[in-house]
Structure 1
Amino acid sequence: MNTNRNDPLAFGVLVLDTKGEVICATDLARDDAVQKRILERYRNEDRRRGMLALEGEPKLIATFRAGDDATMFFIQNAASKSTLFDFVANVDFAHAVFDYFLNNPYESVVVVDDQARVRYIPPVHERFFGIEHGEAIGKKVTDVIENTNLHEVVRTGKAEIGKLQEMGGVTRVVARIPLIENGKTLGALGRVMFKGPETVVELSKEVVKLRSEVEFYRKELSGLKRRTFGLDNMVGNSDAIRQLKADIAKVAPLSVPVLIIGESGTGKELAAHAIHALSKRSENPMVFVNAAALPASLVESELFGYEGGAFTGAERKGRKGKFELADQSSLFFDEIGDMPAEVQVKLLRVLQDDIFERVGGDRPRHSDFRLISATNRNFQEMIAHGEFRLDLYYRISGVTIRMPSLRERPEDIPELVQSFLVAFAERHRTPVKGVDSRVYSYLKELSWPGNVRQLLHEVEKAAIFCDGPEIALDNFRLMPQELGERPIPASPVEAGARASASGKIQDAIEEMEKSMIRDAMVKYKGNKKKVAEELGISRAYLYKKLSEEGPALT
């Protein structure tokens, strides 16, 4: 048979004896160059069975051992860019891969042609259907496989994935896929995907379980974010803190800019997070800017971002600035009162026009962000001295929220202390410490210039120095001259012990009495009615003892 060797369907057979001598060669195999290359591979690699791919004029070759006397090579032209050629050329054990896919019961395929006639059925399927090897070849697939739909896939050219098919009284999950080339359906193949629908049911249950877990953790994360930065974390039940929470709840859903003012340590950042968490923008993270730490030389690149290559050291792809990052979210400017004058001008421009450009760019950009600012500075004084622009002040202070100092809400101190101790115990995995009742009275009398932040630090230090289960007064190592507070009062027992040094019981009793009256006066802030009720004495007796000691007790 003479074949055009350039024909993509050209074919040839080469037969070698046990010594590697040519017994027979037809068509493509008669080419001396092809024979030479095959012989080199055959002798060097000792390949007796498998698949080969020859470079140059690409050829695909299948080799078989014909008994003990000869080896046969089936040669066919191949496209050098074909996936099959690349696979055979790069995988020396390509034949083993094909064997696996053709013989594995859950990977092997039934192949039909464009007339839905069986062209290949794996041995495992032949055994399953009870037919002899090769008996099904050429028959209509509907005559061989019960409940098949491969003939419809051939007709429509549409795949069917994950379909149930009952065969031999067993239900399987199958896939039916058309084989299409140049818009023409060449045939189709069918493959078992799962042993049975119960496998799919189990898989579906596992997917549902995983989805449920993901949704649970998503809700937990969302709840954690709100608990961490929401109103619940603003500890206290005083009138001042209740009013603050009410104000935040009213302003949070609106898109107006908010200015948070208050002394250092009062929790302005916490209030900003609460406003964001209760707003419609809470799904996106709030963007933080420390205005005091923003260097003038980097303000444009930090706020506006920059295009790639805008300046030496710039990232190749460019970078988004704070304004872009805060789009559809909140932009929190902390310490805005310390913002340099040149930065104030740049911020004012963006707030007026809602437009900015990246450094090195020429395309106007828009960002829809909600501005939240915070400061501990006095704006009236700053504006009067020309340190802050009046027009910018009006832009940032759509609504002003004032954070109360700790001095204004001393009744919240016990609850704050408890929350600090619980957090401290969780962080360090230690038992939660109790608190001596006299500690609260003492802490309420302090001025707390550092507010809640200072209270937090002092409580944590006391917890560290406390060796027992309960924090006492002597665990607080505050410096009176720094806070302007009274010295830590002695307990009644300690006072009596000191007085007993005189050796007289009456002196010890009087000293203990004075100490108890002093503590009660501190606890009830000089309310003599409550002090008398607390100590179980008449108000007349209380007035008598107070007059005897003068300012020492009052």
Structure 2
Amino acid sequence: MYSVNKKTNSGTRSGVLVLSIDGVAVFAAGTGQDSHVQEKLGTLWKNRDLRPLPAMFTLKGTSEPITVLSFAAAATGCFVLYRHDGGDPLYEFVSSVDFSADILRHFVTDPYEAITVVDHEARVRYMSPVHEKFFGIQRGDASGADVNTIIENSRLAAVLRSGKTEVGQIQTMRGKSRVVSRTPITNPEGQIVGAIGQVMFKSPAAVETLSAEIKRLRQEINFYERELPRMREAGPGLEFIIGQSEAVRKLKERIEKVAPLDVSVLLVGESGVGKDLVAHAIHQLSRRRIKDMVLVNAAAIPGNLVEAELFGYDGGAFTGAEKRGRTGKFEEADHTTLFLDEIGDMPLDIQVKVLRTLQDGSFQRVGSSTQRRSDFRLISASNRDFQRMLASNDFRLDLFYRISAVTIRVPPLRERLEDVPLLATAFLERFMRRHQIQDKYFGPGVIEYLQSLPWPGNIRQLQHTIERAVIFSERNEISCDDCDVPLELGTGIVLEGIDDPFSDDHTTPPSSGRPVAVRKAKAQVETDMILDALRRFEGNKKKAAEYLGISRSHLYKKLSELDPGL
């Protein structure tokens, strides 16, 4: 028995073919009437036990590409056929991927990729099961309804009118905020035939979490980008600590004494003094130098990720964890040195677990009950005032004793201004070599000018100043004007009596060659610096003090002298 749809003309691009259990055509319409198509589909249907037919596939060996949707029911096979031109992306996808139907099914049913589809009249044509459940709709009940009657605050109709995609929009539905996207859909002729709405994130907080993670990764990348050139150029270690001042000589002596000893070292000093260089030097002179030192910047790791970063985790330990798990920094540092920078910023709950590891070298990965051990040497660094942190219980006393078997203070640049000529020259030569710049040199008075500045940003600030001078100087000779130091530092007046929390006697020893200033001029410059720092950080006294390189107590004292109301 065979029936033909007489209304279908031979030029149609679609069709239907129904085959009996033994492959005989029982119904054909449109493209399904083509004998060649019937023969090929009949062969596939007869061999279905050996090679099951996928729900969607491309029929090969025909004059034009034909996409086939197959259905089997009641011992018959039904095939929906569609001819299309070569180069059609849908055809290329279906013909290249034999599990294309499974992929499409994933897209329309996966709860993390859930969609709502409307036609050109903004009527719902499809809604993913997870969306139906969210809106309390029975399966398929939304089909044909105006989208605005189903989804509150929907803008799919507006997207149909404008033809413009909306991404990352916040939409409130049933009392919950979601971050959504809305995309118009066009046919090959460019006509808008519908639109798709999709939930990108379950809440704005999820976007903030993702943004925080991206920020953390950028901070970590910047940290390692800054460290890598120094590690490559460090050589023996001490040679990279530039200077011949008494302060540097004593620092190097301490490094040489402590490096061979397998004890924990705490490096303290202001931001930018080069604590990381000291850590590299200690490692290079130790018996653990065979393996690279492992670096961790505690300040760059969000509190909820510190434990996983330090101890590692097993696969599936938490949402977003790698399936194979991940090795932590303690584990990576086995038989080498672990440099824990900015340890003063470590949360108290993590301090307890770090202390336990430092006591016997044992730890557990997040999500695991297996005890692991690591043999490492710890070098810690911080620009925080531990005396105040211990007094305010912001840092554990037992952990402080554990990390500070030996404490080394790295002096600020203002205590070793006689090293500025060597440092400036080294930074100049290194920058020119790295960027293939030639014939730049310091003009008359530049070094003396640099020596006259207080450098609250220390060596790092000096380095950046030299690099900017090389970049922006119009001539080969670098002048004082090229040394673009911030306005509050562009003076020969040097502040004395700066309260240094890392100094033994809280005084700043005089350095040879430092200029002497008139008391009145000095006081005015000091006032200008303090007020500018407060404006820069919008009244935040803690950040202003750190920027100026002074303690908060000294800042409060100066403010009370300027104006008791500040």
Structure with greater helix share of residues: 1
Name the larger-Rg structure.
1
TM-score by length of 2: 0.46
